[in-house]
Chain A
């Protein structure tokens, strides 16, 4: 017979998540059932809500904002983590000259400007000839056009990165280019690249050299959507270097390259067909004159470091929620004083202490439930808004959505505050009846 833990582990993820929500809500729901058993205080609660609608709205707003902060933070962090991982998904294994893996990953995967040493022709030839390598694409960066990185590579890499072109045709000569999905340049336009990037870019460094855009890539959700991809031969030629092929090869582009005419490349994207292939290649090319790394591994390490920050932020969100909850409970205690005469009258005409208790608890529960649901929605909207800002600034497609994690967070908050709401209800039943009637 399976243990309860084995049974739990065998359940589908969605069932586990839904069950966790129910379990988290259970204390609050059981409390509600016990408190309301035999009573129907709905009409009275509605009257209380209407009577002090402004104060009630403020309480609901406070709860909603505190919940939204927690929801927004966790949803946003997850969206950013997933978006950056998806942007790196096409980069199986990166080979480069020894140095910082992080710097190289930001340069080759996220196209952040960086000066890195080049791999030599012999190194590229060794990698390209490796029987375990399905394809090896040079990634040569350094030029820009109106802020868009101009990256030299192969047609195979373009297809690997973004699939079939959205429009137009693949480059077939060294002076043709394929634009990323969101580069503000039309198919058929011609441009001259600048050397470097940002304000220091030398606009006239490649005077006379020009590329004509022949096609456009489909969106990838990565900074490559704002890049222009050209044959690596074009990059070498505009820098006055050999173009990777012997002069007798004419205008041919793409692999195989002639090692004698291969000027070097900052990085090579490598991919193996076999399941074990990329791992074997990573070990094989991690050596004194070359480094090989999985962008996914580097990213996971970075996200691992960010996990501490995320936990600190989550803790801050929880502390905020607790502080708001304490404030609300204090407020509800004060509110019961305002309701004191009405509640005393209720008892004077025959209502029992338990009924008064149920009325006050139901009133508190309504405020908590309304604030939490609104907070969930606000948090979702805030996450969407922040995602758009981050996507616009980084070109990494971030899609933050409310998941089971956030629903569970809210369920836990609701349950806890419903239990705490017993305190003001209890306080309301302990008030001196005659004093309240005279007040």
Chain B
């Protein structure tokens, strides 16, 4: 019995930050950090821009520094710029998020940029992404929406 308890405890410990999932994969929550409606438009090239809503419900500031896919591809945080009528994304090394604040990663505003995709993403696909917040890590499911989509298919739903 003691061995079973130990195994159970080890399994729980191995689960990153005991992340909670709402069953629809639209919400991930751990230690007060909530990530909702992670999505990306379907792609035709090797690059994807990932959007989501992040809430820091904890009582400590955290810093978003980037993300990584399950197969080790790094996603960098990028901010939209519009200079001389040309759209571009500048790399942001980090994004602090104070306690109680929210951060929306939105098209033409802020995103996580995934490069080097081996195959294009098609609507209905899912990407497993590990977000890096200071010394915490949060696992989210990124839904692939229409190529011309402007939001998660469940955006507006409360979770």
Q: Which of B80, B94, B109 has the most CB of A within 10 A?
A: B109
A339 at the interface (CB under 8 A from B): no
Nearest-neighbor residue (CB-CB) of B95 within chain A: A276
Let me know if B90 and A299 touch, CB within 8 A: no
* Per-position binary interface string of chain B over residues 101-130, scored 1 when its CB falls under 8 Å from any chain A CB and 0 otherwise: 111100011100000000000000000000
How far apart sit A263 and B136, CA to CA, in the bound complex (Å)?
Answer: 44
How far apart sit A364 and B104, CA to CA, in the bound complex (Å)?
Answer: 60
Let me know if B104 and A82 touch, CB within 8 A: no
| A103 to B: closest C-beta gap in Å | 19
How far apart sit A129 and B104, CA to CA, in the bound complex (Å)?
Answer: 22
Given A283-B103, A283-B104, A286-B104, A81 and B85 touching (CB < 8 A)? yes
B81 at the interface (CB under 8 A from A): yes
* Per-position binary interface string of chain A over residues 287-329, scored 1 when its CB falls under 8 Å from any chain B CB and 0 otherwise: 0000000101101110100000000000000000000000000
* Per-position binary interface string of chain B over residues 80-99, scored 1 when its CB falls under 8 Å from any chain A CB and 0 otherwise: 11111111001011111100
Let me know if A300 and B92 touch, CB within 8 A: no
Let me know if B85 and A294 touch, CB within 8 A: no
How far apart sit A284 and B100, CA to CA, in the bound complex (Å)?
Answer: 10
Let me know if A85 and B83 touch, CB within 8 A: yes
Let me know if A279 and B110 touch, CB within 8 A: yes
Let me know if B95 and A280 touch, CB within 8 A: yes
Let me know if B102 and A283 touch, CB within 8 A: yes
Let me know if A297 and B109 touch, CB within 8 A: yes
| B16 to A: closest C-beta gap in Å | 25
Tally A-B pairs: CB < 8 A: 60
Chain A residues in 8 Å Cβ range of B97: 280
Let me know if B108 and A301 touch, CB within 8 A: yes
Let me know if A89 and B83 touch, CB within 8 A: yes
| A433 to B: closest C-beta gap in Å | 57
Q: Which of A84, A282, A299 has the most CB of B within 10 A?
A: A282
A337 at the interface (CB under 8 A from B): no
How far apart sit A283 and B77, CA to CA, in the bound complex (Å)?
Answer: 15
How far apart sit A301 and B81, CA to CA, in the bound complex (Å)?
Answer: 12
Let me know if A279 and B82 touch, CB within 8 A: no
Chain B residues in 8 Å Cβ range of A294: 80, 82, 109
How far apart sit A299 and B79, CA to CA, in the bound complex (Å)?
Answer: 16
A252 at the interface (CB under 8 A from B): no
Let me know if A296 and B81 touch, CB within 8 A: yes
Let me know if A300 and B82 touch, CB within 8 A: yes
How far apart sit A181 and B94, CA to CA, in the bound complex (Å)?
Answer: 40
Q: Is the interface of A mostly helix, strand, loop or mixed?
A: helix
Chain A residues in 8 Å Cβ range of B110: 279, 282-283
Nearest-neighbor residue (CB-CB) of B101 within chain A: A284
A86 at the interface (CB under 8 A from B): yes
Let me know if A276 and B92 touch, CB within 8 A: yes
| A277 to B: closest C-beta gap in Å | 9
Let me know if A279 and B109 touch, CB within 8 A: yes
A1 at the interface (CB under 8 A from B): no
Chain B residues in 8 Å Cβ range of A34: none
Chain A residues in 8 Å Cβ range of B93: 275
Let me know if B82 and A85 touch, CB within 8 A: yes
Cross-chain contact of B85 among A82, A278, A301 (Cβ < 8 A): A82
How far apart sit A147 and B110, CA to CA, in the bound complex (Å)?
Answer: 39
Let me know if A300 and B87 touch, CB within 8 A: yes
Residues of A within 8 A of B (CB): 78, 81-82, 84-86, 88-89, 275-276, 278-280, 282-284, 286, 294, 296-297, 299-301, 303
Taking A86-B84, A283-B104, A301-B108 as given, write out 18 further A-B residue pairs in contact, using a Cβ cutoff of 8 Å, ordered by the A residue number: A78-B85, A81-B85, A82-B84, A82-B85, A84-B85, A85-B85, A279-B79, A279-B110, A282-B110, A283-B102, A294-B80, A294-B82, A294-B109, A296-B81, A296-B82, A297-B80, A297-B109, A303-B85
11 chain-A/chain-B pairs, Cβ below 8 angstroms: A84-B85, A85-B83, A275-B93, A279-B79, A279-B109, A280-B96, A282-B110, A283-B101, A283-B110, A296-B80, A297-B80
Nearest 5 A/B pairs, CB to CB: A296-B82, A81-B85, A82-B85, A85-B85, A297-B108
